[in-house]
Amino acid sequence: MDFSIRGEVFKIDFVSNYVIEKYQEVENLTFQLVDLIDRVEKLGAEYEGSEDTKELWKQAQDIQRERSEIEQKIIPIRREIVKELVESNGIEYDEKFWIRKTSPADINDFVMTCVRKDITGKGSKKK
């Protein structure tokens, strides 16, 4: 499969089990972020019209801290996935390109497309 990103073309034929496992880690962390959004909505509904802003503020800060911690876990795992994808397909990993020339959406699209290529069976089968 050829994948074009910001003028560069990457031929990805192999997606290792390691990449799939790391991708699942990112998915789990992403689900945790969604859970935090649900907690914020419930918190807002719970304290609507309440004058107990001190407790609301404390809980909001806790949620914000959790969100930040989860996001800081996702970033290096995504970079590790991209590096593994390109290197395991015989391509030199150019950290500067991936960090400075791509957006988070570019990386997400690249990783998801590569991971799903084998899951959906669109990639070539090796015997």
Band of pLDDT at residue 127, cut at 50, 70 and 90: very low
Domain membership flag for residue 52: yes
Give the three-state DSSP class for 93. Answer: coil
pLDDT at residue 61 tops 80: yes
Going by pLDDT thresholds of 50, 70 and 90, the confidence category of residue 54 is: confident
- Residue 53's pLDDT is 76
CA–CA separation, 15 vs 59, rounded Å?
A: 41
Asked whether residue 14 is domain-assigned, the answer is yes
In the predicted structure, residue 118 carries a pLDDT above the cut 80: no
In a domain, 126, yes or no: no
Provide the pLDDT for residue 72. 94
Asked if the structure places residue 89 within a domain, the reply is yes
Question: Which helix or strand (DSSP H or E) is residue 9 part of?
Answer: strand 8-11
Q: Is residue 2 in some structural domain?
A: no
Phi–psi pair at 6, nearest 5 degrees = 50, 45
Residue 28 CA: distances (Å) to CA of 20, 24, 45, 70, 114: 12, 6, 26, 10, 18
Stretch 91-120: mean pLDDT, rounded? 91
Buried b (16+ CB within 10 A) or exposed e, 61-97: eeeeeebeebeeebeeebeebbebbbeebeeeeeeee
Domain count, the chain: 1
Q: Which domain holds residue 99?
A: 10-119
Radius of gyration of the CA atoms of the chain, in A: 19
Is 92 within a domain?
Answer: yes
Mean pLDDT of 24-36: 93
What does residue 11 show for φ and ψ, rounded to 5 degrees? -95, 110
Q: What integer pLDDT is reported at residue 22 of this predicted model?
A: 96
Helix-helix angle 17-46:104-119, to 10 degrees:
120
